[in-house]
Structure 1
Amino acid sequence: MGGYLVRRLGASVLTALIASMAVFLIVRAVPGDVVAQMLGQTSDPSAAASLRGFFGLDQPVWLQYAHWIGAVLRGDLGVSWTGGQPVAPAVGAAFLVTLEIGLLTLALATIVGVPLGVLSGIYEGRWPDNLIQVFNLLGLAAPVFWTGLMLLVAVSALSGWSPPLMYVSPAESLSDNLAMLALPILSLALLQAAAYSQFVRQNVVAALNEDYVRTARAKGVPVRILFFTHILKNILIPLITFMGLVLVQILGGVVIVESLFAIPGLGRLLITAIETRDYPMLQGALLVVVVTAMVVNFVVDLAYSVIDPRVRLT
């Protein structure tokens, strides 16, 4: 087990280093820069050159990266070029908001999607399966931004209620916090619940078609007993892996819903940083997203190895 963890940690560190290079280069590939944003395209060349020197943009890219990654390794993500505030606290506060949305969405999608997938698989080809398949099709086909808009319009039109305009942390008021996040979470959870349902259905159908399960069913063993004794074990490992993928997808989809519902999370911070070409803020936010995805994958691999010891031997 120890050797497996060391190998996975080593691979994660190497991946993080490569990802930091990719983040740094992608940020600088965005057309325009902060100097053009501040001074305009027709600015005085000497003023532009002076400002580029102030931000360090006149240095070679490799040297800019070396300075940035060195500071990151010391826990310093830099200072925002447009706001003047330290990047780390701003990214940390936004990340907590995004993480709350992601975890609540994952919980809701799991609670709804897994039972639907199990029911659909057990009743394959019959009316419960057909009804759930319609839900899956609609959930997977509808874009997140469209679902969010439709929910917002429908709730406002039918009940006259609309979510609060100002974000409130759960520490200040849990009810106001959940009221603002309810529609964003629901719009994200519908898509992921449909994905869960479809994934679990496929695994349940495959497990039910195994020879030993078909033999047990032929002997009269109830499906509910087979599910808890055999089928659940077969779908547990791929389900854990799928949960990790779903969480990463949710964190990606949060960018859209945070902008739609004016939530001060990591997605909204990213969009603002892109618009203003705030490189330190953009690099810090992207790095946190990448590292979070890597941590999720590492935890999934760890859980996988605990459930199935054969993974540690490969």
Structure 2
Amino acid sequence: MFFAKRLFTSVGLLVMVSGMTFFMILMVPGDPAVTAAGPEATAEQIEETRKRLGLGDNILVQFVRWIHSAVTGDLGVTLQGGTPVADLVLERFPVTVGLALLAIILALLVAVPVGVIAAVRQGSLLDRVITIAASAGTAVPAFWLGLVLVIVFSLTLRILPSSGYVPFTESPSRWLQYLILPAATLAAAPAAEIARQLRASMIDILDQDYVRTARAKGLPTPSVLLKHALKNAGVPAMTMIGLQMTFLLGGAVIVEQIFGVPGLGALSITAVLQRDIPLIQGTVLVAALAVLVVNLMVDLSYRYFNPKVQ
């Protein structure tokens, strides 16, 4: 029942986002028929293109037609080149997903131990250093950090490539080599936010009676922290992780441009610059779907961390 309710809500949100995207794009200056017909097209050719694309129909009719096509997997074709939008998105989307997953893994590998250590050593010099570092991590712009990493690891040390991409299926080691810098750039801010949230949650949990009772029974500190404290601090931490996954998908637009990663973010930039409306709609729709799936997974994870959640 819980899953069905969340799924129904997600579908409604997806339709709402699709509608907002569709109608906002119509407000963008420029005629899609001119873009599709080409800069040297005659007035007759432009009008013929407008009729072929159905741009002369009522706006609501266009929206319903687009939604119907999207449900069947048809996202239309690009205005320049006539390439199916679904093919382009399916080609680029796994690249962005791989980058985001690697970034969140790096963020968790740093944030979880750091957050726990800061909570256990609350008020110490180490705790203050971690807090300051976390604040700095949230304040550093991704584009600046990306450029610094390129200068240090690519231009100075020459141990990692500055740009490019190799598919995971072709070579996992080279895939990691090309994505480690952009993933680290994306992971900095989420790692800082997750560490701060986990520290605050752990401090509150460690002050609870059942934790003090577990310690009084003589349970080892690692067991108290992992089995009792960390799991119960997982609900607010998972909320932050879900929010940061959304941030990663949005931040990939900038990072992919910096490191030359051919993902969905780079594709959306190209679509905007070319005013390719079907391509913009397709990338936004798939990105919104990815965010909703992440949020649904986070909601379902609450029941693992707290079985009382209904």
TM over 0.5: yes
Q: How does 1:76-115 map to 2 (within 5 A)?
A: 76-115=74-113
Cα RMSD, aligned residues only = 2.5
Q: Partner of 2:13 in structure 1?
A: 15
- Return the offset for 1:190: 1.5
SS at match of 2:233: helix
Q: Partner of 1:299 in structure 2?
A: 297
Identity percentage of aligned residues: 38
Q: How does 1:118-157 map to 2 (within 5 A)?
A: 118-157=116-155
Instruction: Determine if contact 2:164/2:259 at 8 Å carries over to the other structure.
Output: no
Q: Partner of 2:181 in structure 1?
A: 183
CA distance in 2, matches of 1:41, 1:300: 47
Which amino acid is 1:296 matched to?
V
Moved more, 219-228 or 204-213: 219-228
Mapped pair 1:202 → 2:177: no
Q: How does 1:153-232 map to 2 (within 5 A)?
A: 153-161=151-159, 163=161, 165-213=163-211, 223-232=221-230
Q: How does 1:24-63 map to 2 (within 5 A)?
A: 24-35=22-33, 37=35, 48-63=46-61
Mapped pair 1:282 → 2:280: yes
Q: Residues 203 and 155 of structure 1: is their aligned pair in 2 closer, same or farther, counting only changes over 3 Å?
A: same
CA distance in 2, matches of 1:54, 1:106: 44
CA distance in 2, matches of 1:243, 1:279: 32
CA distance in 2, matches of 1:10, 1:134: 42
Instruction: Determine if contact 1:95/1:266 at 8 Å carries over to the other structure.
Output: yes
Q: Residues 125 and 291 of structure 1: is their aligned pair in 2 closer, same or farther, counting only changes over 3 Å?
A: same
CA distance in 1, matches of 2:214, 2:261: 52
- Return the offset for 1:42: 11
Residue by residue over 1:52-93, the C-alpha shift from the partner in whole angstroms, topping out at 9 and shown as x without a partner, is 333322222111111111111212111111121111111011
Instruction: Determine if contact 1:203/1:235 at 8 Å carries over to the other structure.
Output: yes
Instruction: Determine if contact 1:34/1:276 at 8 Å carries over to the other structure.
Output: no
Residue by residue over 1:140-176, the C-alpha shift from the partner in whole angstroms, topping out at 9 and shown as x without a partner, is 1101111101111122342135516442211112222
Q: Partner of 1:310 in structure 2?
A: 308
Instruction: Determine if contact 1:164/1:179 at 8 Å carries over to the other structure.
Output: no
Q: Partner of 1:70 in structure 2?
A: 68
Count of matched residue positions in the alignment of Structure 1 and Structure 2? 310
Which amino acid is 2:309 matched to?
V
Which amino acid is 1:83 matched to?
G
Moved more, 119-128 or 168-177: 168-177
CA distance in 2, matches of 1:164, 1:260: 9
CA distance in 1, matches of 2:287, 2:31: 22
Q: Partner of 2:251 in structure 1?
A: 253
Instruction: Determine if contact 1:104/1:185 at 8 Å carries over to the other structure.
Output: yes
- Return the offset for 1:122: 0.8
CA distance in 2, matches of 1:232, 1:146: 33
CA distance in 2, matches of 1:12, 1:40: 38
Which amino acid is 1:310 matched to?
K
CA distance in 2, matches of 1:74, 1:39: 26
- Return the offset for 1:213: 3.8
Q: Residues 216 and 6 of structure 1: is their aligned pair in 2 closer, same or farther, counting only changes over 3 Å?
A: closer
SS at match of 2:74: coil
Instruction: Determine if contact 2:35/2:79 at 8 Å carries over to the other structure.
Output: no
CA distance in 1, matches of 2:37, 2:198: 54
SS at match of 1:309: coil
List gaps (5 residues or longer) in structure 2: none
- Return the offset for 1:50: 3.9
Moved more, 38-47 or 299-308: 38-47
- Return the offset for 1:305: 2.6
Q: TM-score w.r.t. structure 2 length?
A: 0.90
Instruction: Determine if contact 1:116/1:132 at 8 Å carries over to the other structure.
Output: yes
Moved more, 273-282 or 299-308: 299-308
Q: Partner of 2:235 in structure 1?
A: 237
Instruction: Determine if contact 2:193/2:240 at 8 Å carries over to the other structure.
Output: no
Q: Residues 132 and 307 of structure 1: is their aligned pair in 2 closer, same or farther, counting only changes over 3 Å?
A: closer
Moved more, 7-16 or 264-273: 7-16
Q: How does 1:259-270 map to 2 (within 5 A)?
A: 259-270=257-268
Which amino acid is 1:232 matched to?
L
Moved more, 109-118 or 225-234: 225-234
Instruction: Determine if contact 1:273/1:282 at 8 Å carries over to the other structure.
Output: yes
